[in-house]
Structure 1
């Protein structure tokens, strides 16, 4: 294992509450009322998924985030207390982020993301600065407030990663995050062919990982040909819900990479973790553990 520090991975931003609605099909049929399975809510969102995923894979992980002084924020705090995971919080009157995720029987999803978190939020930088001195790696969620941390990360000795999610290669909102990270994750869905080149030319990335769902993923290392990583099928865990699969992939990739494995090996392990996450309903309810991942590699 790599040499331990007090915090292996500090995640900045991205916790909230996911309400999961299992619908008969996507897109929804054009009826006024639909009968669905029981609607359930979970602590979720991308920052929480990466934090929890790294924790279950054996890293010392922590989350620094902006939450609301509300029932949803209290739910996040309770879970972190139960898990004994370090949580550093700034409270803001906009409230805790929320989303409603519609999930079809084949596991596809459509997320309705609460726009309250898109408003400009200024945060005391002590939220992350206090932790950087004892952190090895920082994963930055694309929350707007987290943009304020990027200059501090550039001046630190930490390596940095980010997940651009469904970036279209053009939206300027994502560009600061893309420039600032050593490892960039992004979804293939809306990504143009020239987007990975833009990241390498304009940023410091050493690798860009393009996640393409059931088609697998693609590892683009700087000055090297891209490598396709095939998808993984886990027969005993058929796909029921793709919520959290990308976060599980990111967590496993970072865990293997920080342990000294090459990019391709990290991506192969990450594919297993992503497939595992698709085999349980809800968001981040059953992410893969270090023991489970080792048994399948």
Structure 2
């Protein structure tokens, strides 16, 4: 953590997660892309459950023993009740700001190999949406770190979070390296995660983030190809091999969120960044074995045991 972060004596929140609360409808399809047809018979079925990027990062951090608090806009609708129930059942505190447009929702098409195509309902947000500044400031004052989802309206909370002196992280997901919407997040966080899926040159994008922003660590995840790690603007790009999942891969939904949670839990404890990446890789690999219709994340003991096993095996070579 940075030297100007609030002391442990002043905080009761290890990580404040902003944004990314919502509901997904999971549809398992026979293949992706889905062939055009008048109809498809879907098995194992269609299920709606709470859990979008902020929910899953909060869950991952909570399961790893960090005191986690979630803040977002939530509607007074059935989807909002699913979000509230998710947090109650998991024991994760939620500060919800009433949102007239309703709770964020998406449809996830999941193929047999676990790949996912997400369709987000863009009507659930407006350009003038804001998290109340006084609420952001009050929660940030109690926090040691903040993870900021790229959902509207979290970019507007970045100045208040920086004023509070907390370290910041964000996940740019499938940013193409040029969309201006992502730039406040990319340039405003100390730790930046993103997917390499839409990048022609991941290293160039990562170095641009480090050069133009405040990031000391940039991580680009690449699925089965592992991840790329940049520890400081002038450092060498490091490839982090993928970790073999402990069970068959059934769904990639939430793997990036799990990676971020595992990485951050280690980073906030002061671990070296390569060790943090290993924690993230183990957490992400576990997430790929969990069906999207079920809510789960790796626990602290299991994560530590697998990291220790892999570290010992690597040392043995």
The TM-score, its normalising length taken from structure 2, stands at 0.90
1:133-164 alpha-carbon deviations (Å, 9 max, x no partner): 11000000011211111111221210000000
Correspondence for 2:215: 205
- Say which of 116, 128, 149 aligns to 1:109: 116
Correspondence for 2:82: 75
How many Å apart are 1:117 and its aligned residue? 3.7
- Say which of 244, 258, 273 aligns to 1:233: 244
How many Å apart are 1:84 and its aligned residue? 2.3
Correspondence for 2:291: 281
Q: Could you tell me how far apart the structure 2 residues matched to 1:41 and 1:118 are?
A: 20
1:30-59 alpha-carbon deviations (Å, 9 max, x no partner): 211000111111211110110010000010
SS at match of 1:191: coil
Correspondences of 1:134-153 after superposition (within 5 Å): 134-153=142-161
Correspondence for 1:216: 226
How many Å apart are 1:92 and its aligned residue? 1.1
Task: Find out whether 1:131 has 2:128 as its counterpart.
Answer: no
Question: Structure 1: which 5+ runs fail to align?
Answer: none
SS at match of 1:144: coil
Q: Could you tell me how far apart the structure 2 residues matched to 1:140 and 1:90 are?
A: 16
Q: Could you tell me how far apart the structure 2 residues matched to 1:90 and 1:217 are?
A: 35
Q: Could you tell me how far apart the structure 2 residues matched to 1:84 and 1:245 are?
A: 21
Kept in 1, the 8 Å contact 2:47–2:293? The answer is: no
1:193-242 alpha-carbon deviations (Å, 9 max, x no partner): 2211221121000010001011000111112101111111134x110000
Correspondence for 1:158: 166
Q: Could you tell me how far apart the structure 2 residues matched to 1:11 and 1:78 are?
A: 17
Task: Find out whether 1:14 has 2:34 as its counterpart.
Answer: no
How many Å apart are 1:127 and its aligned residue? 2.7
Correspondence for 1:63: 70
How many Å apart are 1:15 and its aligned residue? 0.8
Task: Find out whether 1:90 has 2:100 as its counterpart.
Answer: no
Task: Find out whether 1:168 has 2:176 as its counterpart.
Answer: yes
Correspondence for 2:48: 41
- Say which of 306, 313, 316 aligns to 1:296: 306
Correspondence for 1:259: 269
Task: Find out whether 1:183 has 2:194 as its counterpart.
Answer: no
CA 226–284 in structure 1, closer or farther in 2 if over 3 Å, else same: farther
Kept in 2, the 8 Å contact 1:43–1:283? The answer is: no
Q: Could you tell me how far apart the structure 2 residues matched to 1:156 and 1:101 are?
A: 36
Kept in 2, the 8 Å contact 1:248–1:277? The answer is: yes
Aligned-residue CA RMSD in angstroms? 1.4
- Say which of 246, 264, 286 aligns to 2:256: 246
How many Å apart are 1:284 and its aligned residue? 6.4
How many Å apart are 1:283 and its aligned residue? 5.7
How many residues align? The count is: 295
1:241-274 alpha-carbon deviations (Å, 9 max, x no partner): 0000000000000000001101110001110100
